[in-house]
Structure 1
């Protein structure tokens, strides 16, 4: 019922000197790792899965498909460390050409494709501005230009429970298993799923030749996490819908970004390609240039922890510009010092909302010029319960 943890780094060989089983050395294969890879492949409806010690290790292994002189086309709004990998290592050291463009604009994607384009990379929803990219439309555009271009989607922000990009002819799907798939903020791991045997063999060689594999114990922990993925994701979504609707009532908030809200600019696209949404919300706080109101809000939170990462049982919040300060536009587009990213956890939604309310009220109390749209005629109880049943 529970797959055993195989801690051995080496396995007994037959008298002939050949492997007596599918395993001979843990870089090349481990029974616990195999069990998790089969598990994750099933979640994404994929034929193959390879796991790595981190999400960035998984992304790096994919980029090793691209040779010097070839071209990567990427969305402008992707994880900051992915941008750093491309700009600081792949471009200067490996001689790889790179173009960043706006993937919500199909014409811009088409115009940016080149004869030497090898890899197209994007996230949906994106980190941190939660743009939703039409996965099917982008993939179709790329494949019509050149069927051999590899299309890669980072699906970390929504999990395979709500979205499966391989069904839209995508070549590879990435997950930082550190986030929702594990769900408990105690494992660092990445995964790549594909239906292509050739791509899977490339990933296997990256595991084997670079030793880029996670421990058996970490594999066991992530397998345990997958057993509750469906339950956790439904609760993350239920809580996030309530929180997002509450935030839209607050006069201290400039804008709320959550794909299930009808106010989201790509709401209809999200509803077409996904069957729900995770607990990820980003929102802009009304603030001065110095970001003092945003800092005050973050400092006054009590239940919600000011910490990076996401997808854990605990609600986590972070100011989005921390990792993007070194980048110039357009890679900072939308990432201002008043943009915060909230990973809504599994606590009672009433408690999450109450914590947000008291922290936002601290801004009002300090400035004296902001009032809640809900007014003084609504009690906290009424405000919280207005979100129930959505």
Structure 2
């Protein structure tokens, strides 16, 4: 079945009780039992809800997992996955991951005994030389947030298996439409469902899946025990968003390619980060492991002092955190999404104070280009 068909008919796409073509919102906290000691599929909505279950089955189907898990946010999903590791465990972490991912590891899990090393995961040698006796996992974003670095997921997974490690991949930027890490050898895939999967800036959610049944059982236990589950209303919204993911991603990446090419040729722009450009260091690898380049573009102005003036001059691109919605957004990672990362660590990873990140929406491309042009014209060279 083609992925576009799976978006609509994958997982549980209709209600088994009524035949409704959209799984209803089961807005309930508990369920009537048949009798003492007679287990039912659903007993309490923290442990299971039909609307959430439909979404969980869908993400597993789309990514090739054995079981899916839906959470109240992407970070709730990350928290649950990181809870797999005992105190004293060490993980290798990509050097320009989402700021919230860094924060939960550095400020929450380190207190509980987790250790980590920041590494440029796009360089396999860097990963291998930082593997320690207590290393348990390699955590990768590809494309990364916000520098759009491309990591060879298959090579990392092979290295991880050689050392008996888990490979964790945040697939938020690519989505299952463009990249399926489990097929490349990863063990666990994570998503902020808030972003492209939901797609309309109206829901906060997180999704996790794995193709390892033992890991699925452990994650399922933690999901129920920790309790950061996704409610039925937001589960329904996320599943509804996924139905149009394919056509939205085509529009996102078509527009992003045009914006990236325009920026690369503008005299006021120092550097553009977009894997769809031949100048991008990961361009060839992206072509190999992805079916497209996505809707995220980052860039630096030649005059860093003009960064605020540029973003505030934009009219269609809205200055806001988040990404992946139908509308175009702009942000400055150093003071917004990645502000929790210390300045020295940000700069070591290449996240400069003047870096601008665009989430290119699905508006008419000429309007987006005109908006970027008029903002660049205001700041000059």
> Taking structure 2 as the reference length, what is the TM-score of the superposition?
0.92
Q: Which of 362, 368, 376 is the matching residue for 2:378? A: 362
Q: Does 1:68 align with 2:83?
A: no
C-alpha distance 40-326 of structure 1, shift in aligned 2 (>3 A): closer
Q: Does 1:327 align with 2:345?
A: no
Does structure 2 conserve the Cα–Cα contact (< 8 Å) formed by 1:286 and 1:338? no
C-alpha distance 108-11 of structure 1, shift in aligned 2 (>3 A): same
Q: Does 1:128 align with 2:146?
A: yes
> Taking structure 1 as the reference length, what is the TM-score of the superposition?
0.90
Task: Give the Cα–Cα distance (whole angstroms) in 1 for the partners of residues 212 and 340 of structure 2.
Answer: 38
**What pairs up with 1:1-390 in 2 under 5 angstroms?**
1-19=21-39, 21-91=40-110, 93-146=111-164, 149-288=165-304, 291=305, 293-322=306-335, 323-324=338-339, 326-332=341-347, 333-364=349-380, 370=381
- Residue 15 of structure 1, CA deviation: 2.5
RMSD of aligned Cα (Å): 1.2
- Residue 310 of structure 1, CA deviation: 0.2
C-alpha distance 326-268 of structure 1, shift in aligned 2 (>3 A): closer
Task: Give the Cα–Cα distance (whole angstroms) in 1 for the partners of residues 257 and 213 of structure 2.
Answer: 39
SS in 2 for 1:282: strand
- The CA deviation string for residues 45-102 of structure 1, in whole angstroms up to 9 with x for no partner, is 22211111000000010111111111111111111111111111111x2112211112
- Residue 325 of structure 1, CA deviation: 6.3
Does structure 1 conserve the Cα–Cα contact (< 8 Å) formed by 2:84 and 2:219? no
Task: Give the Cα–Cα distance (whole angstroms) in 1 for the partners of residues 356 and 75 of structure 2.
Answer: 23
- Residue 39 of structure 1, CA deviation: 1.1
How many matched pairs? 358
Does structure 2 conserve the Cα–Cα contact (< 8 Å) formed by 1:156 and 1:180? yes
Does structure 2 conserve the Cα–Cα contact (< 8 Å) formed by 1:125 and 1:131? yes
178-187 vs 317-326, which deviates more?
A: 317-326
SS in 2 for 1:329: helix
- Residue 241 of structure 1, CA deviation: 0.8
Task: Give the Cα–Cα distance (whole angstroms) in 2 for the partners of residues 118 and 328 of structure 1.
Answer: 27
- Residue 350 of structure 1, CA deviation: 0.3
Gapped regions of structure 2 (runs ≥ 5): 1-20
C-alpha distance 328-356 of structure 1, shift in aligned 2 (>3 A): closer
SS in 2 for 1:118: strand
Task: Give the Cα–Cα distance (whole angstroms) in 1 for the partners of residues 328 and 144 of structure 2.
Answer: 19
Task: Give the Cα–Cα distance (whole angstroms) in 2 for the partners of residues 118 and 9 of structure 1.
Answer: 36
Larger radius of gyration: 1
SS in 1 for 2:344: coil
Does structure 2 conserve the Cα–Cα contact (< 8 Å) formed by 1:297 and 1:363? yes
- Residue 108 of structure 1, CA deviation: 1.2
Does structure 2 conserve the Cα–Cα contact (< 8 Å) formed by 1:79 and 1:128? yes
